[in-house]
Structure 1
Amino acid sequence: MIWRVSMRGVAAAMLVASAALLGACANEPAPAPKADIGFVGKPVKLSVSSVAVDDRYNPPGRAPNVEQLHAVTPAGIAHRWADTRLVAVGQRGIATLTILDGSVVETKLPVKGGVEGFFGDQVDTKLTATLKAKLSVAIQGDQPGNYANYSANVVATGEKTILQSANLNDRDRAYFELMNIIAQKFDTALTAEINRTMSPVLVP
């Protein structure tokens, strides 16, 4: 009788272990997103001979900033935008995209304690991203020292909150989703501003 009870106990333990293993497999975290952001809008053709990017943002490289921990950054998005969207089709002049701010700041948020806090999945982190840039176009006139100047300014901001229960991949995914938001806002706002202020140097 003792042997039979022990075998039942072993069988039960094996069933519990199998169920736990299946549960662990089912709850494995989703993989982190692929770190790549692109732009699909038609090229912005400018009547200049070259396009340059002047990155003046100096990241602090420490908390509360977190952009230095990721492959995709707001400044990198601006570089990618200039490479993808801007096309020089003129004989003289230069277009310069100056990056003034490319920060992502992480803020730890207060959470509730006690029973309510124990049983609730609370937001404990907020990411705030800012991408500020200026596109300048300078074209030399017929007389020496005579230039025609045009500019378009843009500030794209966004926020993303993260739950207490989020694992590392979840947090990376939230950051990447925020970068997508910033990229879309930057693209939309700067394209609209270029169309508004630079029509004399836009080429159909």
Structure 2
Amino acid sequence: MKNKAAFAVLAAAAFLVACTTEPPAPSGPKPITFEASEPIRIPVAFIAVDAYFTPPGRAPNIEHLHKITPESVARSWAQARLVATGGPGTASLAILDGSVVSEELEKKGGLTGVFGDQQDVKLKARLKARLTVERPGAQGGGATWTAEVDAYADRTVLESASLNERDEAYGKLMQSLAAEFDRSLTAEIQRSMGPALR
């Protein structure tokens, strides 16, 4: 009897500890950085970042529900990659679109629909931006160079995905969008803005 009583006390204590111990908080999406890429040096006085996209704040858009957005990706990119080295003129990165849309996918019927783990939604992200460099001329004229890109990424999510798994899918979507934006805009700057960088 004493052994049973002692066991009951220990079990109750273990239960109380389990109830008071909070589950570990989800780590959240990994931060997106561009520090590993070589800076793009522009001989201007300063570089501005302006957002011209206003999230609608309702379905099917979901960017407003997350800390990391296409706009924050563009701002992080500009902060890490663009460096003003001084000189006449200005540079600006205009964020023209920074949307993320959740699109419901059509489900299959029959046994596949009943027993299969189907694709639930497709997340589609877009980041459109234009970099402009303006320099004044000697006699009131001037020169302007632009580099514009429209980057896309998408990812599908299964019906069975938990909330954490859906957040993880969104984080990976932002990583893919950031990589595509970085690659595309860097290539366009090198292609069309050579004189502006000298």
Q: What range is the shorter-chain TM-score in?
A: 0.7 to 0.9
Give the counterpart letter for 1:131 in structure 2: L
Aligned counterpart, 1:23:
none
Alpha-carbon distance change, 165 to 32 in structure 1, aligned in 2, over 3 angstroms: farther
TM superposition shift of 1:118: 2.1
Q: Which structure: larger Rg?
A: 1
Aligned to 2:121: 125
Quick one: percent identity of the two aligned structures? 50
Partner of 1:108: 104
Tell me if structure 2 keeps the 8 A contact 1:74–1:102: yes
Q: Is the 8 A contact 2:93 2:131 kept in 1?
A: yes
Measure the CA separation in 2 of the matches of 1:61 and 1:157. Answer: 20
Taking the aligned partners of 1:167 and 1:89, their CA distance within structure 2 comes to 47
Supply the AA of the counterpart residue of 1:108: E
| Structure 2 residue 169 is the aligned partner of structure 1 residue 171 | no
Partner SS for 2:113:
helix
Q: Which residue is 2:188 aligned to?
A: 193
Aligned twin of 1:74: 70
CA deviations over 1:95-121 (Å, ceiling 9, x no partner): 100000000000111212443222110
Q: Aligned partners of 1:92, 1:136: CA distance in 2, in Å? A: 14
How far is 1:201 from its partner? 2.0
- Relative to structure 1, the CA distance from residue 32 to residue 119 in structure 2 (aligned partners, 3 Å threshold; closer, same or farther) is farther
Residue from 47, 54, 63 that aligns with 2:50? 54
Output the CA distance in 1 between the equivalents of 2:73 and 2:162. 25
After superposition, the CA RMSD in angstroms is: 1.8
SS of the equivalent of 2:187 reads helix
Among 153, 157, 163, the residue aligned to 2:148: 153
The aligned counterpart of 1:9 is none
- TM-score (normalizing by structure 2): 0.84
SS in 2 for 1:48: coil
List gaps (5 residues or longer) in structure 1. 1-27
Alpha-carbon distance between aligned partners in 1 of 2:29 and 2:107, rounded to the nearest angstrom? 31
CA contact (8 A) 1:32 1:172 kept: no
Superimposed CA distance per residue, residues 110-167 of structure 1 (whole angstroms, 9 cap, x where no aligned partner): 21244322211000100000000000000111112x1110000101001100000000
Structure 2: state its 5+ residue gaps.
1-22
Q: 1:29 to 1:63 in 2, by over 3 A?
A: farther
Shift of 1:35: 4.2
Say whether the 8 Å CA contact 2:29–2:167 is kept in structure 1: no
